[in-house]
Structures are given as C-alpha cells and as structure tokens.
Amino acid sequence: MIADAHCHFFSAGFFRTLGATPGVATDPASDPAEALPARLGWDPPGDNRTLAARWVAELDRHGVGRAMLMASLPGDEDSVAAAVAASPDRITGGFMVNPAAPDAHTRVERAFAERGLSVACLFPAMHVVPVDDPRSVRVFELARQYRRGVFVHCGVLSVGVRAKLGLPSPFDLRLGDPLAVAAVAVRHPEVPVIIPHFGAGLFLQALMALRAAENVVLDTSSSNSWTRLHPGLTLREVFERTLEVAGAGRLLFGTDSSFFPRGWQAGVHDEQRALLTDLGVSPGEQSQIFGGNFARVFGPAS
C-alpha cells in the first residue's frame, strides 16, 4: 500500500480566507473560491465533500491507499474535517495552527476531540512563534492528551500560492530549527513529531533531531530542491544518509501534492522509489517508507 503523508487540501474556505488577505485584489462581487483558482490556472475546489471525492478518485487512479490532507491556513479545520468524515478510511486530516491566535488551543482541542483530525501542523517561521514557546508547547501537550501527532515545518519555507499572487512572505527562518523541535519532542515522547522535506535545507540538524528524539520522523515530500543549497548533495545521498543514521522506520513518504488539475504528483513517488531501489533498499523497508510508517504514525484506517 502506498500512503502519502503530506498533501494540501486547498478548500473553498482556504481560498476565501486567502482572498481576505491584504494585498490580494479581488472583485468584491466575485467568490474568491472561484476567482483565485481562475487567476492561478487551477480548478475551483467546489464544496468540501466534492473536493474530498476528487481526492479519493485521484488516489484510486494512482493506487494510493491513504493520504494526509492538510488544511493549509489556520481556521480551516472544518474543511478537512468534512473530507475525513466523508472518507475516513482514505483521508487522514491535518490542520495548520497559529499558536499566537487567541483561540488557537481551543481550536486544536476541538479538532482532535470532535473533528477527527490527526495532526496539528506548526509553521514557526511563518507565524513567528518558536517551537519551544509555551504557546507551541501547549499544542504538543494537547497532542499527547488526545494521542495525536504534531508536524513542524523547518528550514526553507516558500509558499507557492503566495508567490503566484504576489504576496510577500515575511518569514523568520531562524525559528525553523530541527534542533528546537527535538528539544520539545524529547519531552513529549508519546507524540509522533514529523519534520517535512528532510528539514528543508537543515539536513544535518534534521539528522541530529532523529538521533536526539526517537519520536521524530522525517517526511520525504516535494522535489526537495533545497539540496541545491548543499554543493554536491543529491537526493540519493539524502536517503542514504538518513537510512544509515535512523533506518527505514523513521521516514514517511510524501509528495506535497496540492491543487488540481495537477493532482497527485506521481513523479515524486517514481523518483524516490527508483532511488531507494538503486540503493538496494529491501522491499520490506520500502514498504515501511511508502506505507507502513504512515499507519504507525497516524493510526490504522477507520
């Protein structure tokens, strides 16, 4: 079974929230859920159940059993919760949290306790809240209470949809340090903690985080173009070193798929599968990376 641990659920609510962002010029008479996708050359999402059904059909087309779909702006938890409710055996729900928001922890608790969501997603550089800030630590505490996971974006952070719309990205990259994640993770050993993109440029620190906290896993998602920041480093070597340091049980396959009509990024899977085969990684270990670890981190399908 293939399971994708990193996809984005670009819902109507996502586009309507984005449309209210200062600097996004929209016609007041238009619906941003229609107008913004048209501007970007993407398909409009439709309602949440329609988008969920499209995702399931896309996963079926590529032979993908399950996917973690993330609500990609704070406050959009209900959108992905509707997708989970429609297909709980196929869709696992994640949601972005801004720990500085006054209702952040109420939202996290509701998402875990009532909405069936499985992982809270922190972006310290985006929201300018360190991962060891008490407001972020509270998210880990709630995850421990409800036996859920925490995803923490580290390293290079670029949001393609913001760039396409000409929005600035005033992120503080100093806050996305995998070592800070490890310092919190080691105090919450029951909580699965996911660092995406192999640390997105902070690869050495991500490997150190794996060694420091056994509950930290790395996801393999996206093109991993951050390797260009490391002269001579290839994605093949990234896999090889990660496997040497921590083994196949600490890697979650992901694509970073997001919008339609592009859909699920099969090319990411095909490249990573070929690299692991070339490295001589056994079929059993590949099964862990491409599916088995997903079930361990996020739980069995409902």
Residue 168's pLDDT is 84
DSSP-assigned beta bridge partners for residue 96:
121
Residue 28's pLDDT is 84
Q: Which domain range does residue 76 map to?
A: 2-298
* Phi, psi dihedral angles at 3 (to 5 degrees): -135, 135
Residue in the block written with tokens 């050993």: 189
pLDDT digits (tens, 9 = 90+) for 52-88: 999 999 999 999 999 999 999 999 999 999 999 999 9
pLDDT digits (tens, 9 = 90+) for 259-277: 999 999 999 999 999 999 9
- pTM exceeds 0.85 for this model: yes
Contact between 26 and 19 (Cβ < 8 Å): yes
141 vs 80: CA distance, rounded Å: 22
Residue 216's pLDDT is 98
Residue 25's pLDDT is 74
Contact between 283 and 72 (Cβ < 8 Å): no
Residue 36's pLDDT is 95
Residue 160's pLDDT is 85
Q: Give the domain CATH number at 63.
A: 3.20.20.140
Q: Is 155 left (phi over 0), alpha (psi -120 to 50) or beta?
A: left
| Count of structural domains within the chain | 1
Contact between 202 and 177 (Cβ < 8 Å): yes
95 vs 9: CA distance, rounded Å: 9
DSSP-assigned beta bridge partners for residue 234:
none
Q: Where are the alpha helices (DSSP H) in the chain?
A: 12-19, 32-40, 48-62, 77-86, 104-113, 124-127, 134-146, 160-164, 178-185, 203-212, 235-246, 266-278, 283-287, 293-298
Q: Which two tokens stand for residue 185?
A: 């993770």
Q: Which residues of the chain have pLDDT under 50?
A: none
Q: Which two tokens stand for residue 37?
A: 């996708």
Q: How many CA atoms lie within 13 A of 131 on its CB side?
A: 32
Contacts by residues 16-25 (CB-CB < 8 Å, ≥ 24 positions apart)? 17/73, 17/75, 17/76, 18/73, 18/161, 18/165, 21/167, 23/165, 23/166, 23/167, 23/168, 24/165, 24/167
CA dihedral 46, 49, 50, 54 (to 10 degrees): 120
DSSP-assigned beta bridge partners for residue 7:
69, 257
